[in-house]
Structure 1
Amino acid sequence: MFPTDRPRRLRTDGVRSLVSETDLSASDLIAPVFVDATTDERVAIESMPGHERVPVSEAVDRVEEVLATGVEAVMVFGIPESKDEVGSRAYADDGVVQRAVRDIAAETDAYVITDVCLCEYTDHGHCGIVEGSAAEDPTLTVRNDETLDLLRKTAVSHAEAGADMVAPSSMTDGMVGAIREALDGEGFAEVPIMSYAVKYESAFYGPFRDAADGAPAFGDRRHYQMDPANRREALREARLDAEEGADVLMVKPGLPYLDIVRDVREGFDVPVAAYNVSGEYAMLHAAADRGWLDLEATARESLLSMKRAGADLILTYLAEDVAESL
């Protein structure tokens, strides 16, 4: 008695690729680019091997390096020359992101997305306005409604500089609606919003905070980022942002939250993004450096898992590592 159903028949070379259910291509990927207004030369990011902060003068060159691999989109993050309590360099006309985006938009064919947040620009490292003194109350958190106006200004300044898409990441209630209203009011109705709709308070962000110099000076972000234990809340957050006009819904991080990626994919008809974060990248590189894993193979498998879960696009530090082979 032999089985009549033999799945192995479709796993041989020649037919295997024809019946593959999930496709990963370089055009699915977004590569992060770090632009640093405090340096005149490239600075290696030790906890993220292969990545650097680049000066504004080399932002175009860095993006051209990304494009040469087949990746078509970049996300620009900025490290400002100075910080203050309201993150004013985030929305300054001559801010680091604004200057870099003008050059990138003028001199390359990249699709330019910008991160809209304040944590890299505030002297306390939180994602908005904080009232009071950390010395008096170390559990201080961001004032939600007062922060919305600063996010509006930041998004509009990025659009004015030439950003093709803006991506608010602060998990501020009402941020998508506030930014959509501001963009529309300033003549940028065609600029889409990719919302970090479901962003968990995750231990996997450590290397990014080194890269972007955005670690909180006190406390943590658990009062405005999501509890990793919560699943149903993710759909609530995604629904609110979709109703406010988000064009793309992002889940962050990616690998530890594939169930959430699937939930958002099944719950909404807009494109879904997954953020393959810095800690996930650092783990693979550390293991590969020790000879425990094959970097390219595990990178590709990791990204395929996000596509299989339902992500349409993936923001990843692995973009250049895998794009050329794709």
Structure 2
Amino acid sequence: MYEPLVKDGMVKGGGKGKRRTPLDGRIESYAVGIYPRSQLLVTATRKNHPNLAEVFRKGKQSWINTQRRAGLTYIADPMIDWDDIFRPFAKVKGISLGPLNRFFETNTFYRRLIVHDALDGYGSIAKSMLALDLIKGDRKVASLPDPYTFTMLNENRYYKSYEDYLFAVADMLNAEAKTLAKEGVEIIQFNAPSIAYEVDKAKDKLELIKDAMARVKKGVSSKVYLYFYFGNIAGIFDELLDIKVDGLGIDTSSTKLLSLIDYSIDKDMVIGIVDAMNTKMEEVKSMASALNFMFERLDAKHIILTTSNSLEYLPYKFAVKKVSVLGNITKLLNAKQDGLIL
């Protein structure tokens, strides 16, 4: 259940210390992942519209305009033509489609991928599915599954060891990330729900995860972030700080900001403060006040605000409002930092 940072106008918890290093620039924002489809698009897909690709493109343009109106710093392709976060990788040589599986504790399903041969023929899969031309003049952000989540939720029938399997997937994601970087994507967020969902299980493989993310990041000119949701990672946060990425992210419905204020974080922090699993709207002023209090105590290099996870779990109209709320909270926080609002 989502526990807000603010309750009845009061900040939850405390924290004695002040931030030890100044924030690097202004607070920024983005919303990545799969967005919900409009009713028009849902109907078009059910009826197998003859110009479905164009309908998807118009749907993407609508969501991109929503992000722009909200004033988000970075703009993302809404990925409304991705059936799930893994499906496009079925195009990779050595991968075939398997059965449907429930995606964690949600009401959505994904098609499990079966790795039956050496992975090959990748590098432009994500690029081909993202309408980057629609955000040509914007600062761009994109998201992909992290290698650990990819390997845990799909099936290996080829590689002799888990390490070989994990590193093969990491190399594939590295090639995808390099291509996106060349296309001008400034930030690539790798979503890691499997790490957060079963922390103890992931902890046993943490050294492999670190090595895998180092392979993912190698030679990528974009910033690489690792984002954790669907579980509390406070207990292993000190170890996660050793991962060679540019930023880490948390879903504050699972990992409380208060649990991180004692750490010196020499990375960017992506903070999921808008609940993408609940139609209840955040109160902008209360949320901004709570975050301002927290940010005075959080020792991080740079802060970016986002949604707790993909917006796909919300009805379309509520998701539109959530994007607006995210933008408004960011604007208010920056106004507070500029001294325009006390």
Q: Is 1:180 equivalent to 2:217 in the alignment?
A: yes
SS of equivalent residue, structure 2 residue 267:
coil
Matched residues, percent identical? 11
Instruction: Give 1:23-42 correspondences, 5 Å limit.
Output: 28-32=28-32, 34=34, 41-42=40-41
Q: CA RMSD in A?
A: 4.5
1:89-125 per-residue CA deviation (whole Å, 9 max, x = no partner) reads x956364x5443422342x32x211112179xx9xx8
TM score, norm. by length of structure 1: 0.54
Q: Which residue of 1 aligns with 2:225?
A: 194
Query: Measured at CA, do residues 248 and 32 of structure 1 come closer, stay the same or move farther in structure 2, by a change above 3 Å?
Result: same
**Aligned equivalents of 1:41, 1:27: Cα separation in 2:** 35
Query: Measured at CA, do residues 56 and 156 of structure 1 come closer, stay the same or move farther in structure 2, by a change above 3 Å?
Result: farther
Query: Measured at CA, do residues 193 and 256 of structure 1 come closer, stay the same or move farther in structure 2, by a change above 3 Å?
Result: closer
SS of equivalent residue, structure 2 residue 34:
strand
Q: Which residue of 2 aligns with 1:113?
A: 141
**Aligned equivalents of 2:122, 2:258: Cα separation in 1:** 35
1:10-68 per-residue CA deviation (whole Å, 9 max, x = no partner) reads xxxxxxxxxxx999x995221236368x9995459xxxxxxxxx923432342222122
Instruction: Give 1:232-251 correspondences, 5 Å limit.
Output: 232-239=235-242, 241=243, 244=244, 246-251=245-250
1:259-308 per-residue CA deviation (whole Å, 9 max, x = no partner) reads 34424xx322222221236xx3444x33x6xxxxx744455456546645
Q: What is the identity, as a one-letter code, of the residue corresponding to 2:63?
A: R
Q: What is the identity, as a one-letter code, of the residue corresponding to 1:131?
A: N
Counterpart among 260, 270, 273 of residue 276 in structure 1: 273
1:193-228 per-residue CA deviation (whole Å, 9 max, x = no partner) reads 1223xx2542xxxxxxxxxxxxxxxxxxxxxxxxx3
Query: Measured at CA, do residues 323 and 182 of structure 1 come closer, stay the same or move farther in structure 2, by a change above 3 Å?
Result: closer
Q: Which residue of 1 aligns with 2:206?
A: none
TM score, norm. by length of structure 2: 0.52
Q: Which residue of 2 aligns with 1:151?
A: 173
**Aligned equivalents of 2:182, 2:131: Cα separation in 1:** 10
More strand by share: 2
8 Å contact kept, 1:128–1:143: no
**Aligned equivalents of 1:194, 1:92: Cα separation in 2:** 19
Q: What is the identity, as a one-letter code, of the residue corresponding to 1:175?
A: A
Shift in Å, 1:159: 2.3
8 Å contact kept, 1:255–1:302: no
Q: Which residue of 2 aligns with 1:216?
A: none
SS of equivalent residue, structure 1 residue 116:
strand
Query: Measured at CA, do residues 75 and 132 of structure 1 come closer, stay the same or move farther in structure 2, by a change above 3 Å?
Result: same
Query: Measured at CA, do residues 68 and 200 of structure 1 come closer, stay the same or move farther in structure 2, by a change above 3 Å?
Result: closer
8 Å contact kept, 2:258–2:294: no
**Aligned equivalents of 1:112, 1:231: Cα separation in 2:** 29
Q: Is 1:55 equivalent to 2:46 in the alignment?
A: no
SS of equivalent residue, structure 1 residue 32:
coil
Shift in Å, 1:75: 4.2
SS of equivalent residue, structure 1 residue 73:
coil
Q: Which residue of 2 aligns with 1:167?
A: 189
Counterpart among 103, 121, 127 of residue 133 in structure 2: 103
Query: Measured at CA, do residues 269 and 282 of structure 1 come closer, stay the same or move farther in structure 2, by a change above 3 Å?
Result: same
SS of equivalent residue, structure 2 residue 71:
coil
Instruction: Give 1:61-72 correspondences, 5 Å limit.
Output: 61-72=62-73
Query: Measured at CA, do residues 99 and 281 of structure 1 come closer, stay the same or move farther in structure 2, by a change above 3 Å?
Result: closer
Query: Measured at CA, do residues 322 and 105 of structure 1 come closer, stay the same or move farther in structure 2, by a change above 3 Å?
Result: closer
8 Å contact kept, 1:275–1:314: yes
Q: Which residue of 2 aligns with 1:73?
A: 74
Query: Measured at CA, do residues 173 and 270 of structure 1 come closer, stay the same or move farther in structure 2, by a change above 3 Å?
Result: closer
8 Å contact kept, 2:76–2:140: yes
Shift in Å, 1:236: 0.6
